[in-house]
Structure 1
Amino acid sequence: MIKGLYKQILLCVFLLAPLSLTAAPFNKLVIFGDSLSDSGNLASIPGYGFLNQPPYQHGFNNGAPAVEQLAKLLNLPLIPSLYLSGGVFGNNFAVAGARAGGDTVIDLNTQVAAFLVSQGGSVPDDTLYVIFIGGNDIRDMRNQTNEKAAHIILDKAITNVANTLSQLLDAGATHFLVVNSPDIGKIPETKALATEDHNLIRRASQKTLAYNKRLAETVQHVKKRKGGAFVLFDLLTFFNGIAGNGKAYHFFNTNEACYSSAFFGYYPICDSTNMDSFLYFDEIHPTQRVHERLGRALFSVVPEAN
């Protein structure tokens, strides 16, 4: 069953973007993204120390994020950059809460700027760059009942992703793994909010599809204009595959959150003893077991791994 799901993911990757990373011995991994990849950056600044206490594990999850599993399988180190503290000490720049289209210190453009400054503006071509962001932009679009306002958010997010890829290519980067978004209409947060707005789930799912479509088109466009080697990983299909076959993967609850990052406590249906049977750790983020499977799936699309 697992191998079948990964084959389906691979098929969707190449249908969405018939581009491939050339086989290369990557000597370094650099991550840009949000809470799905943050392994300690937000937790390092005042006010977020709770992320260093159980059940959290230095981020919004109960274990290592998928990119740490990817790094482990590639036999490469992955260390939080801690750029929010004023220096760069590692290679994971992802920060929980980051947006692709945002302009704050945690967002994509600032992450990339911090990395480029730390490299003196020139980066090695033996590095795999992972762009794993967009869910928070889609959540922002979901919350907009005004279509024009939602479209502005989408345009800015996609423009910033395109600019990020172009900046990295211009600086010498070659190899990219770009990850799209899971269905924001299916996360527990959206379902809870939908009690007040019955169109919210449909709107969130539509915005997810719109973002993922534009992201795929952008990757193709940048590749055509500037070159580079890309893989677009279809996270939407990955999550839908696990949620639709939960029992086969020993996920016995694929709809509800185990823990609340709103009131910092377990929901009555869950505790530390059965958390691993849940798909969702909290209202937005998946559990460590999902991250572990995702890390292996990401590894499977990197040619060096095959």
Structure 2
Amino acid sequence: MKSVAVALAGAVTVANALATPDLSERHGPPSYHHGRPGKPSSGSGWDLETFTSLVIFGDSYSDDSRLGYFINSGGDPPPVGWVEPVANKSADGGYIWGEYVSRYAGVNKYNYAVSGAVCSNDITPRYFSAIDAPFPALAQYEIPAYIADSKYVEKNGTKFMIDPPDETVYAFWDGTNDLGYYAFIQDEQVEGTDLTTYVDCMYRQMERVYNNGGRYFVLFNIAPLDLAPIYAAPPNDIGANQYWPDKPKNHTLLNGRMIEEVATVNAIFDYRTPFAVELKNRYPGAKFAVYDVHGLMLDIYNNPSDYLNGTAPLNVDGYVNHCNTTGGDCVANDSPDSFLWYDELHPSEQTERVIAMNFIDVVKGASKWATYWG
């Protein structure tokens, strides 16, 4: 198991993200073109009438400041009933997509995502020296933390979570670390496991939430990681970096491997979800949406003027924030909304805004970027 002593999946910024920013001057979403309008999936069975709460599981693509708590506490987890502060210095350089959903839709947000997380440390464990343990994973930490919070009652008798089953959406966005460096792309998974083991893990975690009362699920598919600078093919590739200081030199090979991994997992999500929900009826009464965030981000890549709105020339191959291999000496572009990527691995804040706006369409049951089951 590789020891990760550098900033992994957002740990560089998340440790500084515990201070709650002043949100008194919140404004509505910034204007941007909403992409190429398309028809929602026909025959959508998604029937959520009221959207009250959002519960999030995942990694640095979704983490506000939870890993920061682990770092600052010496590895101890947040207590039951911990109210996570909003971070304006998340892995995208600003607010994360879930915070924008909370603002735009006016819903409660309970975010259990942890930067660096994988689905299970029994499959792709990655040791993080800052907490002297593997990164907290969905299976071992995030789902148990959610279940504990869902049952927690404050001293005044008030239930901690506002989570009515017919008004709460559970979002799962994981895979960036599972498929990436020090994991599947380098064949460093636990012996006897493979991509199907990872997929099995994801559905098991959704089942645990279902057994705890969850009924509306949004499964994000895998982002186009092969386009991220850290995995890109020449001439858009990069070498050693803050996340992968010992990156192998055959970038073409790594890019091809990532293309295969992403395509395989996304194809399994597309076929396994209706199989499990419709044919096997493993989640009676539940509704599932597979959010094609891969397709959405690919559309941003191919049609940046429909989504990006910075003052600098639009850029989908480069990134905003450049640091040395130890995560220091960082220099950021002064027009971050011109970029698809914030750093070598993470989407920009503008990309996360786009993802948030389209997530709301997914929840409405009327998104061309989703398929609905149940």
TM over 0.5: yes
- Residue 137 of structure 1 is matched in structure 2 by 178
2:143 to 106, 109, 112: 112
Identity across aligned pairs (percent)?
19
Higher helix share: 1
Structure 2 residue aligned with 1:64, among 95, 102, 116? Answer: 95
SS of the residue 2:343 aligns to:
coil
Match of 1:243 in 2: 301
What does the per-residue CA deviation read over 1:164-193, in whole Å, with 9 as the maximum and x for residues that have no partner? 111121221111111111111111111325
Aligned with 2:198 (options 149, 154, 157): 157
The corresponding residue for 1:234 is: 292
AA aligned to 1:264 is G
Please state how far the C-alpha of 1:26 moved relative to its aligned partner: 2.7
Counterpart contact for 2:66–2:112, Cα < 8 Å = yes
Q: Quick check: 1:98 aligned with 2:162?
A: no
1:214 is the counterpart of 2:233: no
* Equivalence for 1:86: none
Instruction: Give distance in 2, aligned partners of 1:20 and 1:284.
Output: 35
2 CA distance for matches of 1:112 and 1:105?
14
Give runs of aligned pairs for residues 159-238 of structure 1, distance below 5 A.
159-191=200-232, 192=238, 195-224=249-278, 225=281, 226-227=283-284, 228-238=286-296
- Alpha carbons 2:231, 2:251 under 8 Å: kept: no
The aligned residue for residue 20 of structure 2 is none
Residue in structure 1 matched with residue 48 of structure 2 by the alignment:
23
Q: Which residue pairs with 1:37 in the alignment? A: 62
Gaps of 5+ in 1: 50-55, 79-90
| Structure with larger Rg | 2
Indicate which of 315, 337, 347 corresponds to 1:253: 315
**CA 1:6–1:33 in structure 2 vs 1: closer, same or farther (change >3 Å)?**
farther
Determine if contact 1:5/1:238 at 8 Å carries over to the other structure.
no
Question: In structure 2, how many angstroms separate the alpha carbons of the residues matched to 1:293 and 1:153?
Answer: 32
* Cα separation, 1, equivalents of 2:192 and 2:316: 30
Q: Could you tell me the TM-score, scaled by structure 1's length?
A: 0.79
Letter of the aligned partner of 1:106 in structure 2? P
- What letter matches 1:207 in structure 2? E
**5+ long unaligned stretches in structure 2:** 1-31, 75-86, 123-133, 153-160, 233-237, 239-246, 368-374
**What is the aligned residue count?**
277
- CA distance, structure 2, for counterparts of residue 102 and residue 19 of structure 1: 35
2:300 corresponds to 1:275 = no
Cα offsets for 1:239-263 (capped at 9, x unmatched): 1100111244346111122214643
Q: CA RMSD in A?
A: 3.1
Q: Give the conservation status (yes or no) of the 8 Å contact 2:44–2:365.
A: no
* Equivalent residues of 1:99, 1:157 under 8 A apart: no
1:84 alignment partner in structure 2: none
